[in-house]
Amino acid sequence: MESFFVTLKSQFSFSNIIEILVITFLIYKILMWIRGTQAEQVGKGLVMVLFLIPFSSWLGFTTLNYILNIVVTWAVILIVVVFQPELRSALEQLGNNKLFDRMFKSSGERKIFNSVQEIVKATVEMSDERIGALMVFPVNTGLKDIESTGIKLNADISTELLENIFTPNRPLHDGAVIIDLWSGKVKTAGCLLPLTDRKTLNSSLGTRHRAGIGISEKSDAIVLIVSEETGIISVAEKGVLRRGFSGDELIELLSERFIDIDKDNDELDEVLEEDVDDTKIFDTPEEVNDEDKD
């Protein structure tokens, strides 16, 4: 037994441990990247093929083993061809502004907070005018499959743009908007979201609210919903719907989720406090007893 541990110890060095950790991290990131996309199903198929290769060899299935080896040989080329858009998107994310914003924390937080202000201003104005809206803010999990169902914009976040998108009788009014706060971009509009399957929801909640809850169940996104019937502002997160938000409360919520606020950073606290004070004109309409049908 002692010789076994001595041999095992001789085979492992500090660099081996670091290498194992790096490989584990890369596998984890790849699994997170393909989760919820078409690549997930292909990945499952490849894992099945890799499992069948030694199994078929052990059973003596020579022809099957030969075919499976050919499949694996050409799989890399097939993946590059079929999933070229997803691979390009993944490479773009490696050098996106989010990484540099975190390196330059102060400027990054200011940029995100300015975007939050634009979003909240548009939300409250649409709430006042009873204009329905559905906005999705991905946190860590990408929503490439959802984005593919809408119209690509990749435009800077602004109050005017959001209000224009959700203006009634416009082509993109009924769809969802995907907003990347890390980069400060409205990625896509008019997106279709999966509806929640939960049967215990209040029957007064319509399609817009059920779609918001549905995407929050399948991702870590924060979803902002404005009721067309009542003007009530709601937020869906991790499958939970909270209603009756004011503008100040929205600013606080989005800032907490997307800005790493250092409680000891008095300078940043003063900036946030000053900007929030300037937005106290944002008020949510009083809740009414009308049923939400959107």
pLDDT score, position 244: 93
236: left (phi > 0), else alpha (psi -120 to 50), else beta?
beta
**If pLDDT is split at 50, 70 and 90, which confidence band does 164 have?**
very high
**What single DSSP character describes residue 88?**
H
Pairing relationship of beta strands 222-226 and 133-137 according to DSSP bridges: antiparallel
Distance CA 294, CA 59 (A): 58
Distance CA 91, CA 81 (A): 15
SS3 state of residue 284: coil
Sketch the domain layout of the chain as residue ranges. 2-93, 98-277
**If pLDDT is split at 50, 70 and 90, which confidence band does 286 have?**
very low
pTM above 0.75, yes or no: no
For the record, the structure tokens of 77 come out as 């080329």
The CB density around residue 203, as the number of other CB atoms within 10 Å, is 6
CATH number of 98-277: 3.40.1700.10
Cβ–Cβ < 8 Å for 120, 251: yes
Rounded alpha-carbon distances, angstroms, from residue 225 to 52, 82, 205: 47, 35, 11
pLDDT in tens, 198-224: 877 887 788 999 999 999 988 889 999
pLDDT > 90 fraction of the chain, expressed in percent and rounded: 34
